[in-house]
Amino acid sequence: MSTHESAGSLALVSCLLSLGAVGCAMNVSEARSARVLRGGEIQVSEVNNVVVPTRAVSQFVKNVQPSIDAAKAGSVTDEQRDKLVGAATAIALTGPGFGAHTDIGVGLGYRYDVQARLGNGIYALSLRRGFDLGTWHAAIGTRAAYNSGSVFLDIDYLDDVVEYVKVSETKRFDGQLFGQVGKEWGEWGKLWFGAKGMWSPLKVRVDASKVNGGVDTVHTTLWHGGGFVGGALGYRWIHFVAEVTVLGASGKATVFGREYDLSGVVVAPSWGLMGTF
């Protein structure tokens, strides 16, 4: 590994740890069995999420230090300003983070259930339709979510970057389609896996006035697609849940007339407690 790549990796880890304080994480986990809740059945879960992006962030992180040094010295070139803007934008829109949310699901009967998701600046509602496959279960569903942007207001990535480029007022909508298949063993074990696609139009304000870049409002759309696998262990009503989601990301953002590629891969492990009553 080269010196630049090593520095980029260390900065990315530092970014992940610092963002944990503000609870920035994406709305990507399912963290529930493929069996749709029965009519009147209630499920409450507390789920923790870690989001680890690749490429989209690291390609900016490993090259931004000279721009930070130039900004401190008050002699930023146009190219160095662009790198600062790219780093701040990538961290805000596709950056790593940690957060938690609460899911509350209710069985509607007729093999349908609905779930509300609250926390981490996210407000979401999903609907699933279930299918019995003998000893296996399957479900297809959709989720609509609104991100208030509150978790993005203080991007805590290497204070030096956000000192010169402020990213705020993020407004993001997520539309998801997903399908999953799984099996349950008595009252103690559950296993599931599935596929997911997500469409995320968003708006964000980028302020680079401290480095003579002005203020710009960015409108763009991010696309994610991939799969997830998870399981739960416990007894009767309470289970410990763990899941890993891997999604390919695609999207570009144009800031101050320059286009930045935000494509990459997102790895998102999640874990928590699930109660079904």
Q: How much is the pLDDT for 56? A: 57
Supply 72's token pair.
């401190």
Domain range for 237? 3-276
Percent of the chain with pLDDT over 70: 82
pLDDT tens, residue by residue, 142-164: 999 998 754 443 444 456 676 78
pTM of the model as a whole: 0.83
Supply 167's token pair.
């990213």
Q: Count Cβ atoms below 10 Å from residue 21 Cβ, excluding itself.
A: 11
Structural domains in the chain (count): 1
CATH number of domain containing 119: 2.40.160.20
DSSP secondary structure of 31-81 = -S-SSPPPTT-EEEEEEEEEEEEESTTHHHHTT-HHHHHHHHHT---HHHH
pLDDT tens, residue by residue, 207-260: 998 888 899 999 999 999 999 999 999 999 999 999 999 999 999 999 999 998
| 79 residue type, one letter | E
DSSP secondary structure of 155-219 = --STTHHHHHSEEEEEEEEEEEEEEEEEEEETTTEEEEEEEEEEEEEEEEEEE-GGGT--EEEEE
Give the residue from 219, 216, 242, 173 showing the smallest Cα distance to 30. Answer: 242
More confident of the two residues 44 and 168: 44
Tokens 């203080």 belong to which residue? 154
Contact 218, 204 (CB under 8 A): yes
Q: How much is the pLDDT for 160? A: 66
| 115 residue type, one letter | Q
Q: How much is the pLDDT for 58? A: 62
For 8, 13, 61, 66, the CA distances from 4, given in Å and listed in that order, are: 6, 14, 10, 12
Task: List beta partners, residue 101.
Answer: 47
Q: How much is the pLDDT for 70? A: 85
